[in-house]
Structure 1
């Protein structure tokens, strides 16, 4: 859950928003129009990066491209 901890840390530092990240549930963000997407959508258990260069990168790029072409006022955080 390190990525989620970093998200919450930045929310607290930048926006003074404090959240409990022990369960990692970010579902509340969907009500605010937030989409969180990884570049690679699958991985072997305990093997970070194991599905890198398997085609997910192109799929994820197409999702981002579609969203940015259909919507206005989009913010991307990389």
Structure 2
């Protein structure tokens, strides 16, 4: 079983990496980019029988800093 976790900074949290990417795109001539938010994708290869609740627990304890980040889980 595979799980994909998408982690992003919460709205209102400054994203210096995203701002650096936005600035670099502007310097390269891509003037239509008004904002960039950068996050991470984590793919988990899980044993059969693993549950979404277990993945949520992983996110809460290690994969996401829930003070400043939100996450979304997709099980396939």
TM-score under structure 2 length normalisation = 0.30
Instruction: Specify which structure has the bigger relative contact order, considering alpha-carbon pairs within 8 angstroms and separated by 6 or more residues.
Output: 2
Higher helix proportion (structure 1 or 2)? 1
The structure number with the bigger radius of gyration is: 2
Higher strand proportion (structure 1 or 2)? 2
